[in-house]
Structure 1
Amino acid sequence: MKKIIILALLSLNASAQFLASAPPTEIEIKVNNANNISEVLKLAAIARGKKDYKGFEQAMEKAVRLKPHVPILSYQLAQAYALNDSKTKAFDTLIGIQKQGIYFDLAIDPSFDNIKSYPVFNYIKENIDVNGEHHGSGVQSFNISKSFSGLLFESLAFDANSQSFLMGSIRDGRIIKIAAKDGEISTLIEPTKGGLEGPWSSIDMAIDEKNDILWVASSAISQFGKISKESSGLSAIFKYKLSNGQLLQSFKIPGKKGPSLFSAIHLTNKGELFIVDPLNKAVLKIGKGDKQISLAFSTPKYNSLRSITADETGEILYLSDSEQGIIVISLKTQKFITIENSGSLSLLGITDLIYDDNGLIFIQNGFKPERIMRIELKADKATVKNVFAIESAHPLFNSPSYGVVIGQGLYYIANSQIPKTNRMGGLLSGQQWQDMYVLSSAKHYQEQSSLDYKKQIKSYKNSSGVN
């Protein structure tokens, strides 16, 4: 009898707890059912607008689960936690942002007003502010006058034979030479004709000085001034004589009917040209002596491919994916390894990727601080050994993009003009063209002092018993 009474009481208690819990709100139900990031962010905005901070928090938690490596989403989640008075979660989220080297101006954000009085907030803010300070040795190498920057010179290469930089135009496809000695500008390849045969926009370049060859990746994108309905989505590789710009050969994808985009190319030391086609989640190839483009491999897992480079043997490729990180591919084994985003390393928004000195240099934009980083790899060439900042928060940075290593220096475009343009390449209302700056930075900037500092921190932790 006692057993029956106890069971009845437990049942009543469970029922009471169930009845006492509030039913889910409309926002909670919609967030739970949403799996599209745009839909979730729309729900988050609605909840915040209604000052439903619990709903805002739940929506942003879902957004971060869907896109865990996007700094602005983590920041908005910290805002939601603070507004909903989830203090510990807000602090933990902000610490995670700080550890990745990301910067936001917390001082001017009223979302954190109810936690700003806590000493831990000031400590976190001071460390995040350090992330926003300039770090590096970048100096101006040369610039393109704002009178011509509207041609959108967005690719960069260096010709050691003529000691000249090359820059390719998105707008009209021309390629110019800039003498390293005195900055004199000349035209190597005249504006392209477009049409069905191309060339179109000059997207990326690869140089073979030994054989006097310039490879150019070209696509008919919307910013190309001579784009047409018939040519839109066409892509090809064009092979020129490096010394005089004579067109030698063109390579189209055999039998290709759908649109393509060649976002990057890389010429290995074995003489093989690899081409990134993000629209088709594929990497293409022109082997040494090949007469046409072939498929190297496809990557259905990776949706945001951008840049490509290779080690000195030409046997290992590195691809950047703006969400997943850096993909390492062994051409011998066809094995894929991903260097992933981590709590201390954000690989979001990589615009260019360069293998150098058993490491990877990458340029990042799309968040603050815009920066250039270097990963030192272990002997396996696929595992991170150390991470160094080459340049961060330079005053001239505004969407830094392509770069090239020359000796001990890294030369790169500091302020792309693409963000100032509309979909068709025209200047957005309220924007103005600016001089385009190419900067140079020491590629191993303060690496030894960084290692020494890490050793000091490790020694302190060991001696004090801190984990």
Structure 2
Amino acid sequence: MPTPLFRVALLLLLLTGCRAAPPIPQSPDLEVEKLLQRLRAAPDDGLATYELAARYAVLGEKEQALRWLERLESLRWSFALGDPHFGALAQTPEYRAVAARLAGLQPHVARSRPAFTLSEKALTPEGITYDAVTDTFFVSSIRKRKVVAMARNGQLRDFTASGQDGLLGVLGMKVDAARRHLWVASYASRGMENARPEERGHSGLFQYDLRSGVLLRKFPLGNQPRANLLNDIALSASGDVFVTNSERGTVSVLRTGTEALALLMPEGTLPYPNGIALSEDGARLYVAHAHGIASVDTSTGQHTPVQAPPGVLLAGLDGLSAYRGSLIGIQNGFGRGRIVRFHFGADPTRVERAEILESGNPLFDIPTTGTVVGNTFVYIANSQLRRRGPQGELLPPEQLDETVLLQVELGE
């Protein structure tokens, strides 16, 4: 089936003077073979090329990894490499040379300015949400297993204590301003303090009273028959709660008036769903996953892929926010991260153009999520998610940086 496409793509590469793709053999490694299949169908797939180079690096196949990184360069890939994806290879001079050339292709856009700095270094923050009623930001902590609240003047306090109510590592959150609730997604991360092996694969959805901080309801999920990872949250005007389950490849929903999470779509529908945003008319969910963005009917779970013009990559997104006929995403899945805005036209399932809001910022250390506040997007610039010791251990606070929140004006 892919042979005609491969021949056409190869001819185009030769005509445009690009370096031809390396031969695509079969591989005994299942992950490698899946990526090779994608490249047989679409030789110019930069994301698959990046992932393949990283996989070869993990397998210790240095020459193959470098070969596919050079292929990435010939495709004019505009995302600087994320060194942790390439393991020990990242320390070699050959890798450093190609990484420097690829970094030179990354656009540098500097539009952000400082918003807040969190003095507590060992948070490993992941999620952020905003309560317009009290002008308060809430930031989640994976490492400390808690939620902190921050006033506009930067004053910080614990909204929950570490591990309170059985909190695991805390990820996405959403404020229900009308009902005065805070919804929190939590999962058993090995990067959280006091992690126990028996907790692996456990997750939960927590509902708190915004005024008192008291737990109202808790929806725990175990690790049977499969692991769970509730990741990010969207809320409807009627109070329905939608949450991505990254490990199970689906979106779950807690309908108003019900007492149990239900699947909105079958398990395995999406590859690692992550960021989620509700369209402004409430008709569809936009769900970021490993390979792009899905538009999901909030009632039926039926979904279609969001389309984009050539050269606009919708993959690798973490946080996702809707704003005035556009989506703002933090693209951190395959490089050093950037903030991008996808503009829609009349068709809410087709991106017309992409606008880079921030790229190449030296503060970036895996930016994760953000929240829209008026006409401003406030986001976590340096989650430090991969700041670990050589054995995967948590680093002491003195080896971490203060968490920086940046803000970028969105305009019309």
1:140 to 111, 114, 119: 114
- Is the CA contact 1:37–1:63 (under 8 Å) kept in the aligned structure 2? no
- Is the CA contact 1:64–1:73 (under 8 Å) kept in the aligned structure 2? no
- Is the CA contact 1:254–1:293 (under 8 Å) kept in the aligned structure 2? no
Aligned to 1:458: none
Aligned to 1:72: 50
Aligned to 1:205: 173
Instruction: After TM superposition, give the deviation of residue 159 of structure 1 in Å.
Output: 1.4
What is the root-mean-square deviation of aligned Cα atoms in Å? 4.1
Q: Do structure 1's residue 239 and structure 2's residue 246 form an aligned pair?
A: no
Q: Describe the shift of the 1:200–1:383 C-alpha distance in structure 2 as closer, same or farther (beyond 3 A).
A: same
- Is the CA contact 2:200–2:223 (under 8 Å) kept in the aligned structure 1? no
2:76 to 71, 89, 97: 97
- Is the CA contact 2:307–2:349 (under 8 Å) kept in the aligned structure 1? no
Q: Do structure 1's residue 162 and structure 2's residue 134 form an aligned pair?
A: yes
Q: Do structure 1's residue 190 and structure 2's residue 157 form an aligned pair?
A: no
- Is the CA contact 2:285–2:298 (under 8 Å) kept in the aligned structure 1? yes
Aligned to 1:153: 125
Q: Report the 3-state secondary structure (helix = DSSP H, G, I; strand = E; otherwise coil) of the residue aligned with 1:420.
A: coil
Q: Describe the shift of the 1:141–1:310 C-alpha distance in structure 2 as closer, same or farther (beyond 3 A).
A: same
Q: Describe the shift of the 1:346–1:234 C-alpha distance in structure 2 as closer, same or farther (beyond 3 A).
A: same
Instruction: After TM superposition, give the deviation of residue 259 of structure 1 in Å.
Output: 2.4
Q: Report the 3-state secondary structure (helix = DSSP H, G, I; strand = E; otherwise coil) of the residue aligned with 1:297.
A: coil
Give the structure with the higher percent helix: 1
Instruction: Measure, in 1, the Cα distance between the counterparts of 2:399 and 2:29.
Output: 39
Amino acid at match of 2:406: L
Instruction: After TM superposition, give the deviation of residue 427 of structure 1 in Å.
Output: 3.2
Q: Report runs of 4+ in structure 1 exceeding 6 Å deviation.
A: 58-64, 74-77, 108-111
Aligned to 1:117: none
Instruction: After TM superposition, give the deviation of residue 369 of structure 1 in Å.
Output: 5.4
Number of aligned residue pairs: 371
Q: Describe the shift of the 1:438–1:231 C-alpha distance in structure 2 as closer, same or farther (beyond 3 A).
A: same
Q: Do structure 1's residue 171 and structure 2's residue 143 form an aligned pair?
A: yes
Instruction: Measure, in 2, the Cα distance between the counterparts of 1:263 and 1:423.
Output: 26
- Is the CA contact 1:259–1:279 (under 8 Å) kept in the aligned structure 2? yes
Q: Report the 3-state secondary structure (helix = DSSP H, G, I; strand = E; otherwise coil) of the residue aligned with 2:159.
A: strand
Q: Do structure 1's residue 359 and structure 2's residue 359 form an aligned pair?
A: no
Instruction: After TM superposition, give the deviation of residue 424 of structure 1 in Å.
Output: 9.2
Q: Report the 3-state secondary structure (helix = DSSP H, G, I; strand = E; otherwise coil) of the residue aligned with 1:245.
A: coil
Q: Describe the shift of the 1:232–1:257 C-alpha distance in structure 2 as closer, same or farther (beyond 3 A).
A: same
Aligned to 1:427: 394
Q: Report the 3-state secondary structure (helix = DSSP H, G, I; strand = E; otherwise coil) of the residue aligned with 1:439.
A: strand
- Is the CA contact 1:158–1:207 (under 8 Å) kept in the aligned structure 2? yes
Aligned to 1:378: 345
Instruction: Measure, in 2, the Cα distance between the counterparts of 1:110 and 1:295.
Output: 47
Aligned to 2:191: 223
- Is the CA contact 1:224–1:425 (under 8 Å) kept in the aligned structure 2? no
282-291 or 218-227: which moved more?
A: 218-227
- Is the CA contact 2:248–2:272 (under 8 Å) kept in the aligned structure 1? no
Instruction: Provide Cα deviations, 1:242-263, integer angstroms capped at 9, x if missing partner.
Output: 1221111112359965421111
Percent identity between matched residues is: 24
Matches within 5 A, 1:20-419: 31-32=25-26, 34=28, 36-38=30-32, 69-70=47-48, 72=50, 94=73, 96-98=75-77, 101-103=78-80, 131-145=105-119, 148-180=120-152, 182-193=153-164, 198-253=166-221, 257-322=225-290, 324-332=291-299, 334-339=301-306, 343-368=310-335, 370-419=337-386
Instruction: Provide Cα deviations, 1:223-276, integer angstroms capped at 9, x if missing partner.
Output: 232333443322221111112211111123599654211111111223110011
Instruction: Measure, in 2, the Cα distance between the counterparts of 1:259 and 1:32.
Output: 31
Amino acid at match of 2:25: V
Instruction: Measure, in 2, the Cα distance between the counterparts of 1:348 and 1:403.
Output: 17
Q: Describe the shift of the 1:97–1:36 C-alpha distance in structure 2 as closer, same or farther (beyond 3 A).
A: farther
Instruction: Measure, in 1, the Cα distance between the counterparts of 2:44 and 2:75.
Output: 17
Q: Report the 3-state secondary structure (helix = DSSP H, G, I; strand = E; otherwise coil) of the residue aligned with 1:222.
A: coil
TM-score, with length taken from structure 2? 0.77
Amino acid at match of 2:124: L
Unaligned runs of 5+ in 1: 1-27, 42-57, 85-89, 114-124, 448-467
Instruction: Provide Cα deviations, 1:40-60, integer angstroms capped at 9, x if missing partner.
Output: 99xxxxxxxxxxxxxxxx999
- Is the CA contact 1:150–1:417 (under 8 Å) kept in the aligned structure 2? no
Q: Describe the shift of the 1:384–1:167 C-alpha distance in structure 2 as closer, same or farther (beyond 3 A).
A: same
Instruction: Measure, in 2, the Cα distance between the counterparts of 1:73 and 1:253.
Output: 30
Q: Report the 3-state secondary structure (helix = DSSP H, G, I; strand = E; otherwise coil) of the residue aligned with 1:362.
A: strand
Instruction: After TM superposition, give the deviation of residue 382 of structure 1 in Å.
Output: 0.6
Amino acid at match of 2:337: E
